[in-house]
Structure 1
């Protein structure tokens, strides 16, 4: 036997309970799939609720309404009476309303001399009052699931955007088989996203994208480490040759005049290119206060210059900064100065058309002494304070 055909809970069990009719209606609209009803059923139940004398559904105000099918049809935006009857049956079957039949099957009410309803026959809305908490919880679950689904979609969108920029920049700089394979795997993951995905499906996609991102970050760090080792090796080799005694070169039939000329040239180049470390007067805390956005790219936190360097290496890839531009800037600014500069570029990325071109411009200015990292950070901190003041 359907719930709606049973006698609803006794009035004593519902005494003291109250719920706003339109509040529960809104919750029912959200949770309609849970209770197996559609939009037309909602139109009918809205019509039934409109016949209550007060906004609050309570035993005191009366739980039975007794409109005719004609009246229901008019308040349900002209829905045909046959359709109204069909959806009433669905609402009864779903346990959201119940019949309270009169002896002759008609809907009417007995009123006292004051015009107050003493007894009514028609449709009881007691099930709505009885199940109010159940309906409310179902609506909250659906809203929470929808919010989680939206959040997962946003996270996937952010990961897709970052990975696309990183992979495109890497392929433009070095179209190796490694990056081509990474691009292929990325497309396989993205193309598998369903148009109507569940939260579990989106989480699976997000996990795969996150794993690919971690693999790319690791590969970029390894590539940069290899290049740094190669650079250090070349420098050590040059220093080694410089330190060899003259007798060694004589035994190898190397002319001393050529050696002296080479040594002189190298010394002059060293004097011209060596500049004071631009970060000696800059603390890591200053960089982080001026460029707070960089923290998002190091979930474990930035507590040292090494952490900042790793974060900005990752950022440089998806900003479209090529390795040649990165290493040229590193030679001029130093690795810590470059990291502070990239953090600054990230902070102002909305105002910058091309991060790679902008870095090359700053590198040129730094080479001729026209760019100050400290001044850049000071300007960013002033801009941050202005934004906070406006907000």
Structure 2
């Protein structure tokens, strides 16, 4: 009959308050408690980081649980196992003895097992005459039963945190994708907004995302991104509603005009349509017929090469950001006020306004007032009657025409040079006497 249970470790191992706490919890365990040891072990694995246990320590705990013959652990049963180090090493995938001792100490420190050391430190069990175990020395796994509810709560908390972390990362991914695509749609569709600043705000928020971060940090960044998403979405929805409203009003007006079958009204309607087709209403149709995609940077630089003069160091313009910076330098040299520049960027978008500045800078010798010209184009852009495509294409055609003229002049000079060469070569082939040449000179040309 067992009358005393060891509570201190063997040898030079010191007793800690954590060990005493584990022993107290084990004594307070209800006698009718029953747990499935592998279910509890699964909870311990999921709550490993919160408990402070290492992965190797859990491999040893797995081996220790395998030495208990029963799958169900009861609070009123003997829960001590006494495998030797060699047996533990065999079931713990062959780790070294030093590693085994280190991670056994980790299990004890985490309160997952309790040492029940014998007087000489050996692990064994003493049986009575009836074959029942009277005294056992080894590792007490009763904390698996005593703390089963605690392990379950920790595992559920860890699972909930992992799920919340996964959800906030999904929010970030979807929000980033939506914002990028909405900015692209706004620029391609010509929605009036300062898209350059929107892109800058987006890059500022995204730049705060670390490689690894706790959920709370990602939650704050996701909130900022969702605020920006709402602003961009509101701009696009307002533009769509305004466009649909204008279309509905135009359709209603046409329906009223066509609802009267009088021949006179029909002739006036046809006349009105002809005047509309020949007047200013054709401008927006021409603008809408232009490509909706952005102008490639290479075409813009080919049409406006003078802008390259403003780049420091002569390194050229490699991307749209450097192009916008060059346009900012060209703007004051053209005498364009900051207010006119701001209005143009709001009406056209930052990139389109910069292309307009580059085109004006390319033709500055033909434009008397660059600021007035830009304001005129801004007003047309507000009415949806302006696109940078015709300006750039006109500059490209002018450049091609100039190249053709230069090439034709070179060709004419080459033809004249070739004709003169032929005359020289012909004269060299015709050899006449001096008397015949003098006779020909006296006769002169016939009248």
**TM-score band (shorter)?**
0.5 to 0.7
Q: Which residue of 2 aligns with 1:48?
A: 64
1:263 partnered with 2:269: yes
SS at structure 2 position matched to 1:77: coil
Report the Cα offset of residue 98 of structure 1.
Answer: 0.8
Q: 1:11 to 1:223 in 2, by over 3 A?
A: closer
Q: Which residue of 2 aligns with 1:89?
A: 105
1:165 partnered with 2:171: no
2-side partners of 1:128 and 1:74: how far apart?
23
2-side partners of 1:12 and 1:157: how far apart?
49
2-side partners of 1:12 and 1:224: how far apart?
69
Confirm or deny: 8 A CA contact 1:4 1:92 kept in the other structure: yes
Q: 1:9 to 1:48 in 2, by over 3 A?
A: same
Aligned residue among 66, 69, 82 for 2:85 = 69
Confirm or deny: 8 A CA contact 1:53 1:61 kept in the other structure: no
1-side partners of 2:17 and 2:104: how far apart?
13
Q: Which residue of 2 aligns with 1:304?
A: none
Confirm or deny: 8 A CA contact 2:48 2:54 kept in the other structure: yes
Q: Deviations over 1:183-214 (max 9, x none)?
A: 22222222322222222122112211211121
2-side partners of 1:152 and 1:96: how far apart?
33
1:20 partnered with 2:36: yes
Q: Which residue of 2 aligns with 1:79?
A: 95
Report the Cα offset of residue 119 of structure 1.
Answer: 2.0
Q: Which residue of 1 aligns with 2:133?
A: 117
Confirm or deny: 8 A CA contact 1:2 1:93 kept in the other structure: no
2-side partners of 1:219 and 1:157: how far apart?
21
1:202 partnered with 2:202: no
Report the Cα offset of residue 40 of structure 1.
Answer: 0.6
1-side partners of 2:175 and 2:245: how far apart?
31
Confirm or deny: 8 A CA contact 2:75 2:145 kept in the other structure: no
2-side partners of 1:27 and 1:108: how far apart?
29
Q: Deviations over 1:148-170 (max 9, x none)?
A: 11111112222222222211111
Aligned residue among 5, 10, 18 for 1:3 = 18
Gaps of 5+ in 1: 242-256, 270-391
Confirm or deny: 8 A CA contact 1:110 1:120 kept in the other structure: yes
Confirm or deny: 8 A CA contact 2:26 2:143 kept in the other structure: no
1:188 partnered with 2:194: no
1-side partners of 2:43 and 2:137: how far apart?
27
Report the Cα offset of residue 136 of structure 1.
Answer: 0.9
Q: 1:98 to 1:230 in 2, by over 3 A?
A: same
Report the Cα offset of residue 141 of structure 1.
Answer: 0.1
Q: 1:133 to 1:234 in 2, by over 3 A?
A: closer
TM-score of the superposed pair, with normalisation by structure 1: 0.58
Cα RMSD (Å): 3.4
Q: 1:70 to 1:235 in 2, by over 3 A?
A: closer
Q: 1:77 to 1:226 in 2, by over 3 A?
A: same
Report the Cα offset of residue 238 of structure 1.
Answer: 9.7
Gaps of 5+ in 2: 1-15, 258-263, 276-447
1:153 partnered with 2:159: no
Q: 1:117 to 1:233 in 2, by over 3 A?
A: same
- The alignment covers a number of residue pairs equal to 255
Q: 1:79 to 1:126 in 2, by over 3 A?
A: same
1-side partners of 2:151 and 2:26: how far apart?
20
Q: Which moved more, 1:141-150 or 1:93-102?
A: 93-102
Report the Cα offset of residue 223 of structure 1.
Answer: 2.6
2-side partners of 1:193 and 1:21: how far apart?
41
Confirm or deny: 8 A CA contact 1:9 1:126 kept in the other structure: no
Q: 1:105 to 1:180 in 2, by over 3 A?
A: same
Structure with greater Cα Rg:
2
Q: 1:176 to 1:184 in 2, by over 3 A?
A: farther
